[in-house]
Structure 1
Amino acid sequence: MSPSSAGRPVGSVTRGTTGVNRLRRADRWLTAVHGRLLRATDRPLVVDLGYGASHTTTLELFTRLRRVSPSVEVVGIEIDPARVALAKPYEREGLSFALGGFELPVPRPPTVIRAFNVLRQYGEAEAWHYWDVLASRLAPGGIVVEGTCSEIGHRAVWACLSAEGPLTLTLSARFNAFERPSDLADRLPKTLIHRNVPGEPVHAFLRDFDRAWAVAAPYGAHGLRQRWLRAVEILAGGWPVHRVAPLGGTARWRLGELSIPWSAVHPVGG
């Protein structure tokens, strides 16, 4: 998609579907894994890009980030003027809403950009392009968290990027929200979702995760969490699963979460 004419937001209107706690899993990950980044920055700016038809998830993000960084400022950006108008009454000190798109009409480079369920309507090449665009807008040391989640947030996958490129891929799900780990494939970022085919690393990763899940079936007698923990341990025998906090380890795995280096699933020829 080519940029809009001068003065107009860059991008397309999304479906706008949202809901209470839909992005809780990603917010929880952000505060735990990158809370230090926010605390180390004076008045960190966080952008919630394409927050949808309701202000709810942006307000939830603001509330959660303020617990770890009291000086954080959050700006929700939407390309639909009507959605911005509806959100404006909920502004408060440190929380605001603005009309815009990928050009990010904010006063200074953001420390964090969160963009969920925004790029699914774009092609793969466009998704890579907008990853580059967003990463180029970051403050030094900043990150982009881009991904998708199910309608009620029980299954989610997101990538974390720096200005240098993608860093990690994280899968997160309620234990009763899937039958096998590869069910999360429909939530892969746009840069990966069409690469879930034989010969691609992400396909091999999900295949091996399914196999580990099957081998760990006996642990299900002690609950789905125990089965997940065992499956991750098995998977870690052949994949560079993050084992050490803050990105990995039992504390994160117990939440139904798993992170791996992006390099392990980078598309062939991508």
Structure 2
Amino acid sequence: MPSLKTAPAASGHTVEYPRGGPGRPGKPVGSITRGTTNPNRLRRMDRWLSGPSAASVKKAADPLVIDLGYGAAPITAVELHHRLAKVRPDVEVIGIEIEPERVRRAKALERPGLSFRQGGFEIPVAGRRPAVVRAFNVLRQYDETEYAAHWDMVRARLAPGGLFIDGTCDEIGRRATWVAIAPEGPVSLSISLRFGAFVRPSDVAERLPKALIHHNFPGEKIHRYLQALDKAWAEAAVLASFGNRQRWLAMCHSMVAAGWPVLDGPSRWRLGEVTVAWAAVEPGYQGL
């Protein structure tokens, strides 16, 4: 087993780097995940990244995007490259997987702007700083005590203005959530639901990112937020005959009126999406 060096992390956790220190060759950081994936599973997050958050790619000096832990099949990296190329034609997507056989199989799909390599949270890109790192359905398979150190490790490698996206979704992408993390720390939580795939907004709770999924109980901010969404959704039931989209729009307007720091607007709400500032949902028991 290689020797490790440790470094303090902003979260208060300790990050363990492979031998040689951060950015040097060594054993990949992370664990092999189940690797399950499906075509179009991450379309909701891709739509957000190529939409309201496209600036992180459009304005990047080096339009490097990492699909970290893409799983047993590389389809999510292929789809991400296709979608982001419409925003930035010279975008470069690198799919990174810790399991060598998954990388070997993906090599057949390489093309200009899309490649695959072995690695983990250390992001083995030879000193380059990614504009975006996406890790979807990866950290949810880790222990709760581990996610913060991995957040710190990845965000320390981002380009200025870059984003690390830690997200979770169901098997076919109908219910999704993700945290956007800047080099300075977490920025926002997004919830994106397919109309007809939920009864209440809080049905997404089982798909919350690892940072929040164990904090959905009274006294925690994320619980209060989901309960507020449910209440606003119930109060908008009078609009149900006009369709779930109109009801969702009314719910979001109510959340804004109630003072929640919602960061997007009707063009995103129409898609079954809503994004709130991280401070409104961050972990930390508040008491009853």
Q: Structure 1 residue 43: deviation in Å?
A: 3.6
Q: Partner of 2:101 in structure 1?
A: 82
State which of 124, 128, 146 in structure 1 corresponds to 2:144. 124
TM-score, length-scaled by structure 2: 0.89
From 116, 123, 129, the counterpart of 1:97: 116
Identical aligned residues as a percent: 53
- 1:142 partner amino acid: G
Matched, 1:183 2:188: no
Distance 1:143 1:5 in 2: 23
Q: Does 1:254 align with 2:273?
A: no
CA contact (8 A) 1:241 1:248 kept: no
2:77 match: 58
Q: 1:5 to 1:40 in 2, by over 3 A?
A: closer
Q: Which residue of 2 aligns with 1:33?
A: 52
Counterpart of 1:162, as a letter, is A
Deviations 1:75-98 (A, max 9, x none): 000011110011001001111000
Once the two structures are overlaid, the 10-residue window that deviates more, 120-129 or 174-183, is 120-129
Mark the runs of 5 or more structure 1 residues left unpaired by the alignment: none
3-state SS in 2 of match to 1:68: coil
The structure that is helix-richer by fraction is 1
Partner residue of 2:162 out of 116, 135, 142: 142
Deviations along 1:166-206, whole A, 9 cap, x unmatched? 00100001011111000001111101111101000110010
Q: Structure 1-normalised TM-score?
A: 0.95
For the residue of structure 2 that corresponds to 1:53, the secondary structure is coil
Amino acid at match of 2:32: V
CA distance in 2, matches of 1:192, 1:35: 25
Deviates further, 178-187 or 29-38: 29-38
- Per-residue deviation, 1:208: 1.0
SS of 1:69's equivalent in the other structure is coil
Given that 1:156 and 1:187 are in contact with CA atoms closer than 8 Å, whether structure 2 keeps it comes out as yes
Counterpart amino acid of residue 55 in structure 1:
P
| CA-atom RMSD in angstroms | 1.6
1:231 to partner: Cα distance: 1.2
Q: Is the 8 A contact 1:42 1:71 kept in 2?
A: no
3-state DSSP class of the match of 1:198? coil
| 2:225 aligned with 1:202 | no
Preserved CA contact (<8 Å) 1:115 1:146: yes
Correspondent of 1:161 among 181, 189, 208: 181
Q: Secondary structure at the match of 1:32?
A: coil
User: Which residue of the partner structure matches residue 221 of structure 1?
Assistant: 241
- Give the corresponding residue for 1:49: 68
The equivalent residue for 2:130 is 110
In the alignment, the residues of structure 1 paired with residue 254 and residue 160 of structure 2 have an alpha-carbon distance, to the nearest angstrom, of 37
Return the offset for 1:4.
Answer: 7.8
Corresponding pairs, count: 266
- CA–CA distance in 2 between the matches of 1:59 and 1:241? 34
1:193 matched to 2:213? The reply is yes
Question: Does the 8 Å CA contact 2:220/2:285 hold for their aligned counterparts?
Answer: no
Q: Aligned partners of 2:168 and 2:259: how far apart in 1?
A: 23
2:48 match: secondary structure: helix
2:24 is equivalent to residue 8 of structure 1 = no
**Residue ranges of structure 2 left out of the alignment (5+ in a row):** 1-13, 20-25
Instruction: Please give the secondary structure, in 1, of the residue aligned with 2:32.
Output: coil
SS of the residue aligned with 1:67? Answer: coil
